Structure 1
Amino acid sequence: MSYASILVAVDDGQHAPARVSLAAELAHRLGARLVGVAACMPDYPRGFGETAVPMGMVIEEIRQAVLDRLAGVEQVFRDASCQNERTEWRSDLASPVPFLEGQSRAADLVVVGRYADDEGVTTGMAVEVGDALMGVGRPVLVVPAGVEHVEAQRIVVGWKNTPQTRRAVSDALPLLRRAEAVQVFRVSDGEDRAEVEDVTRYLALHDVNATAQLVKPSGWTVADDVRKAAVDFDADLIVTGAYGYSRLREWFFGGVTRDLLAKAPICCLLSH
């Protein structure tokens, strides 16, 4: 398995160039195609009648303004990926998350950003991480605001024996195989040693240099323990499953996923 096509969500936020640069560098390293994707839904006014003609003029102005904004975002993508030989650009006047979900059919990996509080993304263009995780059906690389590189030479796998984590480990194999060291990390009372070692043996069959690390609960959250493990291991990538469910079209996540999405200082590769 390899990543032959990497898709990156692009917008007009202040950290979009860094995210595209990271995705472009990763695509170049893996010999993959890079696809930039952006969409924005125009905020058309509602109403008909006596103002139909002037309203039509306003609608066209709004439409053109959004097209101009998307053209600007495309330029951000072009500038940040100029060293890549194989790139594609896809955009539309549409809701950004459904558009991203549709375009993910052409990708092995989807790269999205975790926005800063002052990101400044235009209303109608933002891609929320939770929506992407639940909808694209691909592994998602979540890039914190301001992170420009992911070497993925030292990787921590936050292990829990669930379908999501098993899928994440499989999805991450192209990166795990290239890493110089991988740590399979599990927070447990000590009864899961054989389970974690079984995972490292499985990874060894895929030419992954992995070791097992089992620690007792620290009293902090599991997400805090995983983040500390990443710091101690000098990792710049965390691989784990994403746990969540939908209620009335809103995504809700379990504590570990929610905390990692909110606070992890390094990139996270998650599968749902």
Structure 2
Amino acid sequence: MAVIEEASSARRCLTVAQRAAQLARSMPLAALHICVDPAKLITAAEEYDIQRMRELEEGTAGERLARARHVFEGWASFSGAEVRWLEHVGAVESSLLAESKDAALIVIAQPHNLDSGDALHAAIFGSGRLVLFVPTEGALPTVLGDHMVIAWKPRTQARKTVMSALPWLQAAKRVTVVTVDENAAGQDCTEIIEMLQEHGISAEVRHGRTERGQHIALRLLSEAESIGADSIVMGAFRFGQIFEWVFGGVTHEVLRRTRLPVFMMH
């Protein structure tokens, strides 16, 4: 399911979602727009006022919906993709959870407005589904699944992500497991290699080290770029979103700086 809250990133989000659907044995594809209409919200007065203020800059909920639908229809006509269009009027979190309960993957572009930010948060922390984050800066890779990188740490989030991403990893032409700044024990990738082998996936292993003052996220992205990866698979927000935002956690920095789509799960 591609979540389309912003017309400006809709084509990019839909394109990556289509590639993901094709890679995973042509999974059915749907596009969802959540229409946050202040007149139909049962919420705090402050939230109602925020939504009304947005209309001055972004247009009404109906206008935002019309723009997103227009981009969707143009993309669908050009691409020839078979994709269902879904609209849901209501609060972002409850609407997304209701519509995505049967989705194998939720695809969301890097957020630049309130609704898409809320949708990304709900998808990661509330849906229990694998999320595919689509960056909006720079050129996207032209393919998905030629070379996937697994950012590995022996953590619950990473294990969950890998297991949920198996349909895509199994279809990938090449998989590389990357660790960054791990000690000798952490560099032992036996667990992930055996996990992948159990599902018919062979993988290479690559160990990276940060340079002085370099963030782990930058080293990870540099490693992925240097080997020509087209996507990253990683656990998300071990310590929570607010903690990472304040202290510059790895997930926060990867999502802020990546130019590759990122499969992730909390």
2:191 maps to which of 198, 208, 225: 198
For residue 229 of structure 1, report the CA deviation from its aligned partner.
1.1
- Given residue 241 of structure 1, which amino acid in structure 2 is its aligned partner? G
Bigger proportion of residues as helix? 2
Partner residue, 1:102: 98
Partner residue, 1:55: none
- Runs of 4+ residues deviating >4 angstroms: 123-128
Gaps of 5+ in 1: 1-6, 46-64
Partner residue, 1:50: none
Alpha-carbon distance in 2 for matches of 1:68, 1:100 = 20
Alpha-carbon distance in 2 for matches of 1:126, 1:260 = 16
For residue 36 of structure 1, report the CA deviation from its aligned partner.
0.9
Does 1:257 pair with 2:217? Answer: no
- The change in CA–CA distance for 1:149 and 1:23 in structure 2 (over 3 A counts) is farther
Alignment of 1:1-272 (within 5 A): 7-29=1-23, 30-44=25-39, 66-67=61-62, 69-82=64-77, 83-85=80-82, 87-115=83-111, 121=113, 124=115, 127-145=118-136, 147=140, 149-187=142-180, 188-194=182-188, 196-219=189-212, 220-244=214-238, 251-253=242-244, 255-272=249-266
Q: Match of 1:15, SS?
A: helix
Alpha-carbon distance in 2 for matches of 1:27, 1:135 = 22
Gaps of 5+ in 2: 41-59
Alpha-carbon distance in 2 for matches of 1:32, 1:160 = 29
Q: Match of 1:101, SS?
A: helix
Normalising by structure 1, report the TM-score: 0.77
Partner residue, 1:56: none
Among the aligned pairs, what percent are the same residue?
A: 24
Partner residue, 1:58: none
Contact 2:141–2:260, Cα closer than 8 Å, also in 1: no
- Given residue 151 of structure 2, which amino acid in structure 1 is its aligned partner? G
- Given residue 161 of structure 2, which amino acid in structure 1 is its aligned partner? A
* Residues matched between the structures, number: 238
Q: Match of 1:183, SS?
A: strand
Bigger proportion of residues as strand? 1
